[in-house]
Amino acid sequence: MLSPLIRDLIDALRVLPGVGPKSAQRMALHLLERQRAGGLRLADTLQKALNEVDHCQVCRNLSEQPVCGLCSHPGRDDSQLCIVESPMDVLALEQSGGYRGRYHVLLGRLSPLDGIGPGELGLPALIERLRSTPAIREVIIATNPTIEGEATAHYLREATRDLPLSMTRIAHGVPVGGELEFVDGSTLSHALSGRRPI
């Protein structure tokens, strides 16, 4: 039988995505049995990060500074603004190495059933940013290809229709190295509708 404090540790670890009861139990016991120093370092770093990391005042990405490193970097392309749902999306795009513009992080997507509307995503502030930043010429909407992501992309297109901006949407389709026979119908449909000349 586990003590109450060990059970509390296991329950605390379960807040992490993808961590179920068995994984949390394994982690907790590993920290207590073999990695006490690592556990203390984890606890210290976690507390420090939770106290010091907030959202960038410009793009809403996670940052320890009021303005994040991507927003303050002078070598970024000011004419492009990529709109993403989460800081994880920024990380994925940066790791791809294919984008050098600026970002705006919505911190979610429109979902009326969950009570998430334009105000919760900061869309009025984003639209004001687009209106007041003449350097931005292209807006790349990189929301996920889900029903909510598509609804968010549609809202953004409609809300910015009167602005002199080029609005683009990231392509969705067959992954590199994928085989058509294993790709679902919806993905194939997106791939066909987004085809381009070669």
pTM of the predicted model, to two decimals?
0.84
In the chain, the percentage of residues whose pLDDT exceeds 70 is 97
12, amino acid identity: A
Q: What pLDDT, on a 0 to 100 scale, did the predictor assign at position 179? A: 74
* Residue 170 CB contacts under 8 Å (≥ 6 apart), including other chains: 140, 141, 142
Segment 32-65, tens digit of pLDDT:
999 999 999 999 999 999 999 999 999 999 999 9
Q: What pLDDT, on a 0 to 100 scale, did the predictor assign at position 91? A: 94
| Confidence check: pLDDT of 89 > 60 | yes
- Residue 7: its H or E element: helix 4-13
Confidence of residue 108 (pLDDT cuts 50, 70, 90): very high
What are the chain's domains? 76-171+184-192 (3.40.1360.10)
The answer to whether 154 touches 180, Cβ cutoff 8 Å, is no
Distance between CA 61 and CA 122 in Å, rounded?
A: 13
Mean pLDDT of the chain: 91
Segment 96-107, tens digit of pLDDT:
888 999 999 999
